[in-house]
Structure 1
Amino acid sequence: MASTPAPNLAFFGELLVRLSPPDKMLLRSARSLDLAVGGAEANVAIGLASLGRATRMISRLPANPLGQMARSVLMGAGVDCAHVAKGEGRMGLYFLTPGAGLRASEVVYDRAGSVFARASADDFDWDAVLGGATHLFLSGITPALGPVSSALAIAAAKAAKARGLSVIFDGNYRGLLWAAWDSDPRATLSELVGLADIMFGNHRDIALLLGTSFDNDGEERRRAASAALFAAFPNVQVLASTARHVAAADQHLLSARVETRDRVAQTDEIAVSGIVDRIGAGDAFAAGVLHGLLRSADDLDGAAKSGLALTALKHSLPGDASLFGQGDIDAFLSGEFDVRR
């Protein structure tokens, strides 16, 4: 009997450079900026590579020092970059003003016309970039970049399905990006979710997809939203989400939920205080859940706890991506918060 191939996860999306003022200063008064490499798909790839998973990035970077730097960051984290092509043009940027106390964080995008945003489906050899992969991860950010990128995201998902890959889709709704062009996010995202086997998203994402609202609170609202999603999208088999209550910029309450059509795993709510950086926390959650599901597809409780642990830990780490390993997850779940010597 042929053995099941080891998971090899491909990630399709744009790599970005993040620039942020030091010491939680306002962008308008900053005279220097800290630099990090980000992008939702790359963040999940780095998170899973840090957990020992085989990951590859499929993207395009400018043939300049910024592109070289971004490639080096991913490769240094253990992500295969053989399918990150080079092209002429610019690197996508975003500027983050970190929140503090009761002041929320703020993002300003400067990514229009990037090398990746100008790419079309004809720029990718799907047999080559997906060959040997078992899963494709993509998010709602790529189709939000414009009509060409929207068609590209759908082409990538269809290419993966045609080759027998499992498709993982993270809603990652970005209203500012969708509003910048004559878009129809509901139609586009619905087509992508229709191709997905695993989805990351909450009741707001599902309300957008279905053009409806869920009026109850808490558990009842989550249950109603997931039931509606599973009924509308028969291909989706797993739905994962977090619930976040923001008391202040550096104090949040978090819980995690992973469910199939007939089972639900819901964690208790935990307090995350002294937050260093919340950007990429959702990507860390996705990495933790996928890592848990790859360890045991039937252990929804373990996947939910793994996702919660990784997203909580990411709040302690500057930059966009989680760099934690299984030992860090185990220590978190066992309550080991003192110095480890």
Structure 2
Amino acid sequence: MARPLMTADLGKQGGTVVCFGEVLLRLGAPGREQLLQRPHLDVFVGGAEANVAVGLARLGHRVAMATVAADNALGHAALGELRRYGVSTDHAVLRPGRMGLYFLTTGAIHRPSDVLYDRAGSTFALAEPEAVDWDTALAGATLLHLSGINAALGENGAKAALRAVQAARAKGIAVSFDCNYRAKLWAEWGGDAPAIIGALLSHADVIFGGRRDFGLVLGRTFEGPDSPRAAADAAFAAFPQARWIASTTREQVTVDHHILSARLFTRDASHIADPVHVAPIVDRIGGGDAFAAGILHGLLTGRPERDVVRLGLAAAALKHGVPGDLALVSAGDMEGFLEGGAFDVRR
């Protein structure tokens, strides 16, 4: 049985999960059209940490979103969408400025999906590192979750992320960190991704990352059939605080047919979930965040680690059938998936 994250040394039992990151608007070409093939865009609220926040709230956890958002109609609407799914926005700081955006062109057949970021100069990216009052935001918290995307947005974002994990660690609160390496964002400001991500990883109890992430941070290459375990062992050696490392593997048969598998590593064990075919895909964006929500749900509730990894994979697979970024998956959905009854009509 996994030792739950909600133990005395890591936070208060039954406390709040605090997610820290930028809330975004996604503007997508409808269906499989090219961007602005018609003058129409579908709008969804998202952002890596916001997706995890909604996923955990849907699974019954008390969740708060710490962020800096635009004090305008777009920012208020985005925060309202999070509240609609049960996420507290009491620790969202409102500032004048613009929302971070990204544009999505969904792929088809042999044409892959493409993301165009428009996040430079957003309210979140420009906010001073001290914008969030962590003494207040982390009061009563069990877990802080964030990702490398915060740091990828610029120097202020990197300092804010490091300040957040240091505040959590000082209070004995567990930290969950998703590497979420985004080469396009790092390139825009020339940040030292290996050093900054490595500094954040040193505070994490739960790490979401794979051999490419650890290869980047540690300056090594991991190849061969045993490379996921070898990469995890190297990460455990480099980051003594880490207790769990989780990752997914995606085989792309076509744009619309993927095979997902998942791994959960501890220092002395490996847990691998059986692969799942996902086809046809409705929307793959946010699948990794749904996986993170499923893994954290399992750890927070003390499920056996062999079940934790299956819950994460179930959440990720189910998210591929939900339009938009948010992980709108329920505990019943996941349990039904694992029991093989996901295709039955519920009456």
TM bucket by the smaller chain?
over 0.9
Contact 1:100 1:249 in 2 (8 A): yes
Alignment-derived partner of residue 190 in structure 1:
198
* Secondary structure of the structure 2 residue equivalent to 1:153: helix
- In structure 2, how many angstroms separate the alpha carbons of the residues matched to 1:97 and 1:322? 20
Query: Helix, strand or coil for the counterpart of 1:42?
Result: helix
For 2:239, the aligned partner's letter is F
The percent identity for this pair of structures is 49
Q: Residue 312 of structure 1 corresponds to which residue in structure 2?
A: 317
1:330 aligns with 2:311: no
Q: Distance in 2 between matches of 1:14 and 1:30?
A: 29
Provide the C-alpha distance between the structure 1 equivalents of 2:16 and 2:325, rounded to a whole number of angstroms.
22
* AA in 2 matched with 1:22: P
> What's the offset of the Cα at 1:103?
1.2
Residue 167 of structure 1: aligned partner: 175
* Of 100, 104, 110, the match for 2:108: 100
- How far 1:4 moved relative to its partner? 5.2
Indicate whether 1:247 and 2:247 are aligned: no
Residue 287 of structure 1 aligns with an amino acid whose one-letter code is: A
Determine the structure 2 residue equivalent to 1:270.
276
Total equivalences in the alignment: 337
TM-score, normalised to structure 2, is: 0.95
SS in 2 for 1:6: coil
Question: Is residue 2:130 matched to residue 1:125?
Answer: no
C-alpha deviations, 1:200-259, integer Å up to 9, x for none? 001110101110101213xx1111111111111111110000111111111000111111
Instruction: State the AA in 2 paired with 1:226.
Output: A
Q: Pairwise mapping of residues 227-306 of structure 1 onto structure 2 (< 5 A)?
A: 227-296=233-302, 299-306=304-311
Q: How does 1:212-223 map to 2 (within 5 A)?
A: 212-217=220-225, 220-223=226-229
8 Å Cα contact 1:281-1:315 kept in structure 2 = yes
Report the Cα distance in structure 2 between the residues aligned to 1:116 and 1:37, rounded to whole angstroms. Answer: 15
Q: Take 1:88 and 1:4, find their aligned partners in 2: how far apart are those partners?
A: 35
Structure 2 partner of 1:211: 219
Alignment partners' CA distance in 1, 2:298 and 2:73: 36
What is the identity, as a one-letter code, of the residue corresponding to 1:312? A
- Structure 1 SS opposite 2:181: coil
User: 1:5 offset after TM fit, Å?
Assistant: 2.3
Query: One-letter code of the match for 2:315?
Result: L
Post-superposition Cα deviations, 1:18-48, rounded to whole Å, max 9, x if no partner, equal: 0001121000413100000000000000000
Are 2:147 and 1:139 equivalent residues in the alignment?
Answer: yes
Kindly indicate whether residue 92 of structure 2 is the aligned counterpart of residue 87 of structure 1: no
Q: Which residue of 2 aligns with 1:39?
A: 47
Q: Point out 4+ residue stretches in structure 1 off by more than 3 angstroms.
A: none
Is residue 7 from structure 1 mapped to residue 15 from structure 2 by the alignment?
yes
* 1:321 paired to 2:326: yes
Report whether the alignment pairs 1:112 with 2:120.
yes
SS in 1 for 2:346: coil
Q: Is the 8 A contact 2:18 2:138 kept in 1?
A: yes
Helix, strand or coil at the partner of 2:93: strand
Instruction: Indicate whether 1:22 and 2:30 are aligned.
Output: yes
Segments of structure 2 that go 5 or more residues without pairing to the other structure are 1-7
| Alpha-carbon separation, structure 2, partners of 1:7 and 1:133 | 5
Counterpart code for 2:21: G
SS in 1 for 2:117: strand
SS at match of 1:216: coil
Measure the CA separation in 2 of the matches of 1:333 and 1:197.
26
Give yes or no for the alignment of 1:56 onto 2:61: no
Q: 5+ residue gaps in structure 1?
A: none
Q: Whole-Å Cα distance in 1 between the matches of residues 224 and 15 of structure 2?
A: 38
Amino acid at match of 1:255: S
Aligned residue for 1:180?
A: 188
For 2:4, the equivalent position in structure 1 comes to: none
What is the CA RMSD across the aligned residues, in angstroms? Answer: 1.2
